[in-house]
Structure 1
Amino acid sequence: MLRFKRAEKTSFNERLLALHRWLQSGEGDYLLKAERRQLEQELHYIFGYHACQMTIAPGAGLLTTSQINHISLLNPSMASSMELARVLDDASCPDCDSLVLADPIHWPVSPGTLDLVLLHHVVEFSERPHRLLSEAARTIIPGGKLLVIGFNPKSLLNYWRWVSPKHRQLFQGVHLISPGRMRDWLTLLGFNVEKINYGAYMHPLDRHSKGLTRELVEQRCRQWNLPMGGFYMMVATRETPGMTPIRPAWSEVRRRFASNPIAGTSSCVGGSAGRES
């Protein structure tokens, strides 16, 4: 009887290290260029003072065209992975002012201090993706932006990994998160998802097609924004907490003469219920 050998479970650092090496290949470079093209279109409309990115490709220059001057890089690594820490420290980051090696689920960032956070292919490789999103969410100011770039489960790249040993090993132990589930998670964290863009539709079959055919297919699919790209980029804004109106001084006097039969909403009632976002 034919039996398949069960794949060994890999750690978060091992998966990130394998992805880092793959992104430096020709196939991974094509994906990075497509992602950088999508990012440049959004960064022109995002302003602020402080930005942070957590990416496994610090040398890709993903935030080079950002309007924000102060950019920090959080290298996603656990303290026990010296190999991954050495690889990320050696990689240059042309668009960063500071580099910090940090635990992905314990960010050394003060709450509500960042205008922009970019999560580049780290959520789906994490063992606790929702906790990673929570850490990123708490550092963003109200009205700040969160950009999430992840592999699309409904893409040629995901289907290709079942027939390609190299891709099957790359995505070993990785749980790809659909855009719908990612939207639900961000909504629970208090974000408003503005848009979802897709790209790299022909990846990884682009090297088997002619240049003109590949460009025409990519251009048409991007125009229609078909949800079948190799990656998706989600743009979300942290919602601004509601304001509690100040009661007029004569409200207490009026209550002495006539009771108000209509119960006020939570935004009009004092106390903790009216101050919660």
Structure 2
Amino acid sequence: MTISNAHPAICWQDLPNGIVIQESIEERLAPWWPKVFGYHMLSIGPLSQQIEKPQLPIGKEFSLAPKSLVSVVGDYHHLPIQSSSIDAIVSSFLLEFDSDPYQLLRESDRVLIAGGYLFIIGFNPLSPVFTGKLFPAYQTKVPWCGHFFRPSRVKDWLGLLGYQVLADERLLYHHLMTEVHVGSIWQHALEAWLPSSGSVYIIVARKLESPLTPIQEKQKVRQPNWATAPTAGRNTHAKVDN
């Protein structure tokens, strides 16, 4: 199986329980939008564009994908956008279906300004949703045909790029192969006992203006001043009295 640069889901209905997933994400991200200030927001992928962003103090929102129905048609690995010109980026379920997910993050980092926000949404392999990968009937379907990355690995990538993770949240404790009933006792129990096992993760990160640990200049090592040890004076020739 070759994972392409194009997302197999064009709208949320293309995902199993897609509308429930969308509404859960919108509810969890709602408190974040008023905190994002700036002139330009970039929604990468068709699903990111369709997320409601109420009270977003951003002048203009652009959407980008390899196909139409977006503001800009382009490649995720080579964004046709000037460097350090975007104040916030939203990426929804893209890493799972990309041939080079780290390059996607690097390109997002290139166009994001220092202090800008990066919102990453993905499927958590350490959750009930991974169950679908065990059944042949689901292995070729979305989202199980993609490669699920652990949230910890995504955070490691962000750390290498110089980001501070502000939030790492989970939602929807369900395998998604059947209809999701929000508020079920089983989901509440799983959330209480295994809070990190939510099927969907949301990572909110901010690009740092400087590294967390500044590199200090190496101090010159003071060389010891080795001196010849003093020796007691003595005559080399003894005087013999007659």
Q: TM-score interval w.r.t. the shorter chain?
A: 0.7 to 0.9
Conserved 8 A contact 1:53-1:117: yes
Aligned match of 2:85: 113
Query: What fraction of aligned residue pairs are identical, expressed as a percent?
Result: 23
Aligned residue pairs: how many? 216
Contact 1:31 1:203 in 2 (8 A): no
Shift of 1:57: 2.0
CA RMSD of aligned residues (A): 3.1
SS at match of 2:58: coil
The CA deviation string for residues 182-217 of structure 1, in whole angstroms up to 9 with x for no partner, is 0110011111112201111135267375x6535x84
> Which residue does the alignment assign to 1:74?
64
2:13 is aligned with 1:41: no
Counterpart mapping for 1:8-87 below 5 A: 9-12=1-4, 16-17=7-8, 19-20=9-10, 23-24=13-14, 27-57=17-47, 60-75=50-65, 77=66, 85=67
Task: Give, in whole Å, the separation in 1 of the partners of 2:129 and 2:122.
Answer: 12
Deviation at 1:31, TM superposition (A): 1.1
Counterpart-to-counterpart distance in 1, 2:144 and 2:177: 20
Q: Does 1:134 align with 2:106?
A: yes
| 2:184 aligned to which of 186, 189, 213 | 213
**2:230 is equivalent to residue 240 of structure 1:** no
Structure 2: which 5+ residue stretches go unaligned?
A: 219-242
Instruction: Kindly name which structure, 1 or 2, has the bigger radius of gyration based on alpha carbons.
Output: 2
Q: Is the 8 A contact 2:132 2:175 kept in 1?
A: no
Instruction: Please tell me whether the aligned partners of residues 201 and 230 of structure 1 are also in contact (alpha carbons under 8 angstroms).
Output: yes
Deviations 1:87-146 (A, max 9, x none): x42xxx7xxxxx001101000111111110111111221001010000000111111111
8 Å Cα contact 1:197-1:234 kept in structure 2: yes
Which TM-score applies when normalising by structure 2?
Answer: 0.76
Question: Of Structure 1 and Structure 2, which has the larger fraction of its residues in helix?
Answer: 1
Larger CA deviation: 106-115 vs 41-50: 41-50
Map Cα deviations across residues 211-257 of structure 1 (whole Å, 9 max, x no partner).
6535x845983x88811111111111111137xxxxxxxxxxxxxxx
Q: 2: CA distance between counterparts of 1:67 and 1:225?
A: 35
What residue in structure 1 maps to residue 199 of structure 2?
Answer: 230
Runs of 5+ unmatched residues, structure 1: 1-8, 78-84, 94-98, 243-263, 268-277
The aligned counterpart of 2:96 is 124
